[in-house]
Amino acid sequence: MGHRFLYSLVRDRIAVLVHDHGAPPPSAWSSFCDDEAVWAPTDLRMLVFSEHGVPNARQREQLRAVVTNRNDRVAVLTSSTLVRAAGAMMSVDCRGIRSFQPDQIEAAFEYLDLTPEESRDVHAELGRLVDALFGTGIARSAS
């Protein structure tokens, strides 16, 4: 089975990405970088859920070209040490990257400075993408 990678934009300012393992497929990553440049040329919030997937060196360079001189905030939800290390490495170019354990989703929303309504919508979209990619949802108690 190939690597899978899905993303979408919520409320015109928050990208939600879900990734299984390995590097994203090149065509999907290129599409994401192109979309990201159009979505928010100066400031974007991003929530990434990654099982064990990280962009490869070429993909990191593509992303670097998009995020240079931007103030993006990126919250990475993962239990993978590899993904957390890659996030730390990428934070040299994108200083707004922070990693969180999957059960720290509320802290990730706070870091992204989301309103309660944005948090609700992002959580719903994250669940939809996780269901599409893995076939399992992310449970959340009603707040």
35-44 pLDDT per residue, tens: 988 887 667 8
27 Cβ neighbours under 8 A, 6+ residues apart? none
> Per-residue pLDDT averaged across 75-104, rounded?
85
Q: What is the pTM of this model?
A: 0.87
Termini Cα distance of the chain: 37
Residue 122's pLDDT band (cuts 50, 70, 90)? very high
Over the stretch 35-82, which tens digit does the pLDDT of each residue have? 988 887 667 899 999 988 888 889 988 888 877 777 788 899 999 988
Whether CATH 1.10.3290 fits 5-134: no
Q: Where are the domains of the chain?
A: 5-134
Residue 24 C-beta-side C-alpha neighbours within 13 Å:
26
Residue 104's pLDDT band (cuts 50, 70, 90)? very high
